[in-house]
Structure 1
């Protein structure tokens, strides 16, 4: 299967997919990342290439290691799709949910697509991601209750920091980003991304 050079978008507002139909569509197409925006747009993208996958794992690994020590919640990979309260069905590159919020879900809710907005999300822009679409996705996270989000943009050598109720902060690389009160004690050093 070849990689899509950019996501495919389908406006399916006139075709109502139930939650169960959407779930079945996703699990029967494991080679694709399928999301649905709060506005009803179906977004289909292929798996990422090696450079993006390596970066994604490295950044998500830092979050995992912090959480293993802090033991304050649960960390999720890009394979996890969250059912957001605003109707969106989104899959961040890495996410974290505070433990009491995760524990409040039923075993069935945890097994399927969790009906919860993460407390923290991280998105890593890949070669096939356009920036306006990622900006919309980050705003959708905030509108759903995400408290802190990082959009890491290797192409422009910057990171955008999204906080609930505040303006987006843009920093050039190299820089350090902090988990602030959401991920207490978590600090990620971001170096400029070179050609790999």
Structure 2
């Protein structure tokens, strides 16, 4: 099954609460909501993609556990962006200062902020143009650094606030730059899969 987009905006306006109920009732699917009200339905990932995601999650988790500079999230976390979209990046992170501004109630729901850092890992069912648009949407809503990793051709597209996208080929590691100081993602396990 590939990703499906449903235009429901003319039929029903999903509130945050109703969208959360819909996502909760369909836990086998990853659901996102665009700023235009389109419901994006994504199937669970395959084994290779799941393993790659877990590798990235693990490397970020370990760095974050050691530095305690922020909060890291997996692909099941929803972010309610300033433009009204609700997105779930494959891997994401926010600075501890940003986390501290959220109330206890806000932390329990889709987080009403844009992550500072995201990773989107291109899977077999992803449309690359759509994933690039999603990365651009993150930038427009406050993202500082994002990596679009494509294992098929061993490329990474680096998205940075106020800069042009940079395309890297065949690199073995990525630096978290000043957003994730000291974090280096080892890409070798991603490319080997």
Return the TM-score normalized by structure 1.
0.94
SS of the residue 1:123 aligns to: strand
Q: Distance in 1 between matches of 2:34 and 2:172?
A: 31
2:173 to 163, 171, 176: 176
Aligned residue for 1:20?
17
TM-score by length of 2: 0.95
Secondary structure of 2:191 counterpart:
coil
Bigger shift: residues 100-109 or 10-19: 10-19
- Which residue is equivalent to 1:96? 93
Distance in 2, Cα, partners of 1:90 & 1:71: 24
8 Å CA contact retained: 1:178, 1:188: yes
Q: Segments of 4+ in structure 1 off by > 4 A? A: none
Cα distance between partner residues in 1 of 2:187 and 2:169 = 9
Are residue 53 (structure 1) and residue 47 (structure 2) matched?
Answer: no
Supply the distance in 1 between the matched residues of 2:34 and 2:187 (Cα, whole angstroms): 29
Distance in structure 1 (CA, Å) of the matches to 2:87 and 2:115: 10
* Cα distance in structure 2, aligned partners of 1:175 and 1:165: 25
The superposition leaves residues 64-101 of structure 1 with CA deviations (integer Å, 9 ceiling, x where unpaired) of 11111111010001110111111110001110010011
Q: Mark the runs of 5 or more structure 2 residues left unpaired by the alignment.
A: none
Cα distance in 2 for partners of 1:173, 1:148 equals 19
Retained in 2: the 8 A contact 1:161–1:170? yes
| Residue correspondence of structure 1 range 18-167 to structure 2 within 5 A | 18-167=15-164
